[in-house]
Amino acid sequence: MVSKYRNETIRKKQRFEEKTGWEGINDPTKDRASHKVRALIAVAVVTLISFVYLDRIYEIQIENHDLYLTKADDNRIRVRPIEPIRGNILDRNGIILAESFDTFNIVAKKENIISKEKFLINARKVLKLDNDDLVKLEQQFKNKKLKEITLKKNVSIEEFTKLSVDQYMLPEMELIVKSNRRYFFPEQMSHITGYTGKLSDSDFNTVIEIKEGMTTVGKVGIERFYQNLLSGTPGFEKLETNANNEIVGVLEKKPAVRGSDVYLTIDSKLQNFSYNLLKDKQGSIIVMNPHNGDILSFVSHPGYNTNLFARGISSKDYKKLLNDKAKPLLNRALNGQYPPGSTVKPFFGLVALEEGIIDKSRVFACTGAYKLENYKRPFKCWKKDGHMDVNLSSAVASSCDVFFYRLAEISGIDMMHDKLQKFGFGQKTYLDLYGEKNGLLPSREWKNKSRQEPWYPGETLNIGIGQGYFLATPLQLANATSLLASGGSSTTPHLFLRSIDRVNNELINFK
């Protein structure tokens, strides 16, 4: 019975194997074949991984060796820029108007600041900063071009030593030597020299050259116009650091190149004298050599203290200047546009002579007013009783309005406009300062375009005495008067006399 059952089981197993192709789990031949396949797959995988690994090693150590060496050096080496000494500004006699001097600033490298919020909180505590100071710090953070944050300027060693007690709260701060600017005639020369300030994003979209490592640039005046001469060339130090970012040695050093000294045409004694003449007044005085265009005095009164800006002016002081009714920040000599008044009468007289409209003996009667046809209102002279009969010479000497009313009526606005252009009215003189205004020399075309109105005869009479729409800058008047004084010889007004490169002793004279 058992034998019969065993035979039946064997037959079932055989039928199952024939049907499924299964040969059992203890077939040694099949096992050896299976292990061989697995071994080949494992070898292939290991070989592939080895090739990938070797390729990566080749890429890192041979193909991109310089790249990864540079990255490694970046972790080990810190490059610190050295700001150059800015050149001096001097008057024509060699008197220093602006110079640089060393001072100490507390700064923090942006790369060392992990949390801006925590940094600002600790900076406020350690340095006792107010809200205005924090706003300035925020602005420095936003300026992506700046690599360091200036926390405090012009500090002494003693002051930094006291602050160092709390350096555990603000480990990012460090003391560095910085070059600052000093102005010897801060108000008298303010609209000439201008001032320097911290590099901002807007400075990168101008004609001035921004060099790597530069943190201070000229903002206005000569400091701005001759920035590329005055600034010099920054240097650098390659510093080796350890794992804690502490400096352990200097690997390489390239010294900064000092900026050139710039000499101006200004006579500082005459400038100070002219400035004092305008005491308690708002106005401008320009003294110009008509033979070569040298500006000897260039006064806009009142001025402002440029040293406040060089040190970093506070919001309070800046608002005070902005709100001052006397407008000390306005450069009246360059940007002030005013009706020229009787100062243009000699130019109209000269034009009328050249065009044959009058001669030296031509006489007009002045009874105190001039009546223009179809105008109800008479055009009055400044002298109520009039000047009686006047020719060009006496009309200029007495500034007779009626004479020039009559002259303007005969000449007409078209000729007056065209001829006055030759004296430089209505256009820039191209003095070496930024921001010069054009003034306004009106014409029919100008009024039609700007006011959509025709030109009226009465407006011509007003132009004849330098009133109405006519606007000129003090600099334009000085330039035009120079043309008269030189007999028509044209020169370009300028403040630059020469520059001297103290490193190479190269001299550049005005051309």
Q: What is the mean pLDDT of the chain?
A: 86
Q: What is the pLDDT at residue 47?
A: 82
Query: What is the pairing mode between strands 96-109 and 89-90?
Result: antiparallel
> Cα torsion for 157, 162, 164, 168, to the nearest 10°?
-170
- If you search the block for the tokens 């334009």, which residue do you land on? 476
Check: CB of residue 253 under 8 Å from CB of residue 77: no
Token pair for 316: 């309070």
pLDDT given at position 49:
85
**pTM to 2 decimal places:** 0.76
For 290, counting Cβ atoms within 10 Å of its Cβ (0-12 exposed, 13-18 middle, 19+ buried), the class is: middle
Examine residue 416 and state whether it is found in any structural domain, yes or no. Answer: yes
In this prediction, residue 394 carries a pLDDT of: 95
Which range of 388-392, 486-490, 503-507 scores highest in mean pLDDT? It is 388-392
Task: Check whether the bond before 186 is cis (ω within 30° of 0).
Answer: no
Helix, strand, coil in percent for the chain, rounding step 5: 45, 20, 35
Q: In the block, which residue shows the tokens 């009874």?
A: 367
Q: In whole angstroms, give the CA distance from residue 122 to residue 173.
A: 11
Q: Identify whether the C-beta of residue 261 lies closer than 8 Å to the C-beta of residue 94.
A: no
Indicate if the pLDDT at residue 324 is higher than 70: yes
Does the structure show a pLDDT above 70 at 6? Answer: no
Which one-letter amino acid corresponds to residue 254?
K
pLDDT band at residue 435 under the 50/70/90 scheme: very high
HSE (side-chain half, CA atoms, 13 Å) at 280: 0
Number of domains in the chain: 2
Give the model's pLDDT for residue 218. Answer: 92
Q: Is residue 25 over pLDDT 60?
A: no
What residues have CB less than 8 Å from 469, skipping those under 6 apart? 440, 442, 446, 447, 459, 462, 463
**For 161-195, what is each residue's pLDDT tens digit?**
777 777 778 888 887 777 889 999 999 999 999 99
Q: Looking at the domain assignment, is residue 250 inside a domain?
A: no
Does residue 410 or residue 210 have the better pLDDT? 410
CATH number, domain of 449, equals: 3.40.710.10
What's phi and psi for 28, nearest 5 deg?
A: -65, -35
pLDDT tier, 113 (very low <50, low <70, confident <90, very high otherwise): confident
Final residue before a domain boundary, out of 41, 63, 85: 63
Tell me the sheet residues that pair with 237. Answer: 80, 253
Angle at Cα 198 formed by Cα 195 and Cα 199, nearest 5°? 110
Residue 171, pLDDT score: 82
Classify residue 482: in a domain, yes or no: no
What is the mean pLDDT of the segment spanning 463-486? Answer: 95
Q: Is 404:423 a contact under the CB 8 Å cutoff?
A: no
Q: Is 41 inside any structural domain?
A: yes
pLDDT at residue 299, rounded to an integer: 97
Count of beta carbons in the 10 Å neighbourhood of residue 177: 10
Is 367 a member of any domain? yes
Phi, psi dihedrals of residue 344, rounded to the nearest 5°: -90, -5
Stretch 236-253: mean pLDDT: 72
**DSSP H stretches of helix in 209-344:** 221-225, 227-230, 268-277, 306-311, 315-323, 332-335
- What's the rounded mean pLDDT across residues 475-489? 93
Predicted confidence (pLDDT) at residue 256 exceeds the cutoff of 70: yes
For residue range 57-94, what is the model confidence (pLDDT) as tens digits?
777 677 666 655 555 555 667 777 788 889 999 999 99
Which position among 314, 342, 399, 486 bears the catalytic label? 342
Lowest mean pLDDT among 208-212, 217-221, 239-243, 390-394: 239-243
Active-site residue 342, yes or no? yes
Does residue 408 fall inside a structural domain?
yes
* Residue 173 belongs to some domain of the structure: no
Q: What is the pLDDT of residues 447-474, one digit of tens each?
A: 999 999 999 999 999 999 999 999 999 9
- Please give the residue range of the domain that contains residue 47: 2-63
Alpha carbons within 13 angstroms on the beta-carbon side of residue 488 total 5
Q: Is residue 42 part of a domain?
A: yes
Interatomic CA distance for residues 168 and 146, integer angstroms: 25
Helix (H) or strand (E) holding 347: helix 345-354
Stretch 183-208: mean pLDDT, rounded?
A: 89
